[in-house]
């Protein structure tokens, strides 16, 4: 079991420091996480069962939830279509909530929710009123996206700078006992350092996303970087957005795993762990194809075989399955 998977499944909230030389390992461990998504999602479900939440009258309620109403919100009811995840770029929950409620003019930003490192949640505005969390969107209309989305902030410093053997947030200071990942951001694609999210934050994010989709029929959950053009990179690569989408909407964890292993091989073509991971994904698809054939579901079997073939050329198992599918 790799380091990242061990941290998330065993519950260790403190990830070890990674250097840029370990960028391939980041992708390998991310791929391993996606490959083992059922175990991770089962653990997230146990956390949700032990700390249940509900949406009542456009407000979140449940264990660890508090309300800190802000006046920085729209007045006309909205019908949200999306959820947007952000990083607060603050030290803790108190600082984040204070900044998002501040009306002194230093910032106009606000959001609906803030998720703390311990899994606690603060709600600042009801979900049926717009908050000002997107800024200028890629479409050029911040108001349009604010009117269509629910803003979810996670307490996290985001990008970190390494100097003198220590890690520093953009606002200055030095982090003690930091949780750090090395990964490329969504804009420059260059490896940088990031503060890692805690397992409780991620579990809460999944639980809240599921509730919001159920209550409002949200069509997708986005990262701020996906709607802000090249202005923003949050919530950053340490936040496994594809895994959240997988938990909420379903999908193919094998595809996510294969993509991460492919990225690892782009960085380090000879990476044995990435090659082994890719081989396991192929084996999964082969097994799924055989199961589909046993059920006489040829269409599903053809899809699984096609996925396996895309990832592994000249695999005898894939060739054998293709021959069975061609047979009358």
**Sign of the dihedral defined by the CA atoms of residues 30, 265, 182, 240, in that order:** negative
Helix, coil or strand: residue 175: coil
Domains observed in the chain: 3-251 (3.40.80.10), 270-326 (no CATH)
For the entire predicted model, the pTM comes to 0.86
The Cα diameter of the chain in Å comes to 74
pLDDT in tens, the chain (328 residues): 233 333 332 332 223 334 445 678 888 989 999 999 999 999 999 999 999 999 999 999 999 999 999 999 999 999 999 999 999 999 999 999 999 999 887 778 999 999 999 999 999 999 999 999 998 776 555 558 999 999 999 999 999 998 888 999 988 888 887 788 878 777 777 778 999 999 999 999 999 999 999 999 999 999 999 998 778 889 999 999 999 999 999 999 999 999 999 999 998 999 999 999 999 999 999 999 999 999 999 999 999 999 999 999 899 999 999 999 998 7
* Residue 214: partners with Cβ closer than 8 Å, 6 or more residues away: none
Give the position of tokens 């003019």.
Answer: 105
């Amino acid at each position: 079991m790799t380091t990242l998977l061990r941290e998330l499944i065993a519950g260790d909230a403190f990830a070890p420091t990674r250097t840029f030389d370990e960028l391939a390992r980041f992708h390998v461990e991310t791929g391993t996480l996606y490959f083992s998504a059922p175990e991770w999602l089962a653990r997230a479900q146990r956390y949700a069962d032990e700390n249940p939440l509900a949406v009542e009258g456009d407000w979140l309620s449940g264990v660890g939830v508090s309300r800190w109403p802000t006046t920085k919100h729209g007045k006309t009811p909205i019908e949200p279509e999306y959820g947007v995840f952000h990083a607060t770029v603050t030290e803790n929950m108190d600082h984040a909530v204070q900044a998002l409620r501040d009306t002194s003019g230093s910032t106009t930003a606000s959001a609906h929710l803030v998720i703390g490192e311990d899994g606690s949640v603060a709600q600042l505005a009801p979900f049926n009123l717009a908050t000002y969390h997107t800024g200028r969107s890629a479409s050029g209309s911040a108001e349009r996206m604010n009117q269509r989305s629910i803003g979810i902030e996670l307490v996290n410093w985001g990008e970190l700078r390494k100097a003198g053997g220590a890690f520093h947030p953009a606002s200055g200071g030095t982090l003690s006992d930091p949780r750090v990942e090395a990964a490329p951001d969504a804009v420059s694609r260059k490896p940088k350092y990031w503060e890692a999210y805690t397992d409780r934050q991620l579990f809460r994010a999944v639980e809240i996303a599921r509730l919001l989709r159920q209550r409002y029929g949200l069509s997708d959950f986005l990262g701020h970087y996906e709607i802000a053009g090249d202005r923003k990179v949050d919530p950053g690569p340490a936040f496994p957005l594809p895994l959240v989408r997988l938990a909420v909407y379903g999908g193919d964890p094998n595809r996510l795993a294969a993509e991460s292993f492919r990225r690892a091989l782009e960085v380090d073509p000879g990476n044995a762990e990435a090659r082994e991971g890719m081989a396991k994904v192929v084996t999964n698809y082969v097994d799924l194809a055989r199961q589909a054939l046993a059920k006489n579901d040829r269409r599903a079997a053809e899809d699984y075989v096609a996925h396996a073939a895309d990832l592994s050329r000249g695999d005898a198992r894939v060739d054998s399955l293709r021959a069975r599918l061609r047979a009358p």
